Amino acid sequence: MGINQILSQKPSPRGEVGFRVSDVIDFARLRGVQGLDTKAVSTQISCRQDPILALRQALNEAGKAGDIHALISMYADDVIVMPPNDTTLYGRAECREWYQEYYQYFRIVALSESEREVAVHGDFALERSGYMIAIVPVPGGNRIRDDGRSFNIWRRQADGSWKIWQSMWNSVKPVGSGTNRYLSRLTQKKTKGKR
């Protein structure tokens, strides 16, 4: 019996993707599957449960690298992004501009997820995550640490790829601490510039 058959025999009650690795491995062993490659099973299940896992990891890496092109490539054309303490961004061009400004002032030196949950519903994947981020000002200065959360809605595109369609994030830290004060200053600077 192949792993695909095993997976197909264990659908979730609501038809959503959702398997616990341990359940499937136990199930396979009960069915007498020999030489089960648990790592391969885990990978396959992860892809079924979480089709955006690799993209999320790539997104984090692009963020750390300051690779704006890679970041923007993960957004849908009609993306809407709601960064904290800032105006809503509509479309890739506005997102690119936002990141260009961000990386003009900051560099991300650490980014790790403390929590992550994904639910797939048709062509939409709802992703909630908690993260720790550390940034340093480009001109120099102290490392700034923040803890935040993000909520992304990924949408499957016509070509089958997944892109971020709507996104927002914020900090758990009080106003005036974490990265907020720096982003607020950035926003204030932008506002003054438009006057």
Nearest to 102 by CA among 75, 63, 53: 63
* Ordered strands of the 144-156 beta sheet: 89-90, 75-82, 162-171, 144-156, 124-137, 106-121
Residue 172 lies near other proteins (rule: CB under 8 A): yes
Name the one range near other proteins by CB under 8 A: 28-36, 41-49, 103-111, 147-155: 147-155
Q: Which is nearer to other proteins, 134 or 168 (CB)?
A: 168
Check residue 110 for interaction with other proteins (CB under 8 A): no
By beta-carbon proximity to other proteins, the closer residue of 44 and 166 is: 166
Closer to other proteins by CB, 67 or 147: give it.
Answer: 147
Among 113, 123, 132, 157, which residue sits at the site for other proteins (rule: CB under 8 A)?
Answer: 123
Reported as half-sphere exposure (CB side, CA atoms, 13 A), residue 13 has a value of: 0
Residues engaged in binding other proteins (CB under 8 A): 13-14, 80, 82, 84, 88, 121-124, 126, 128, 130, 149, 151, 153, 166-168, 170-175, 180
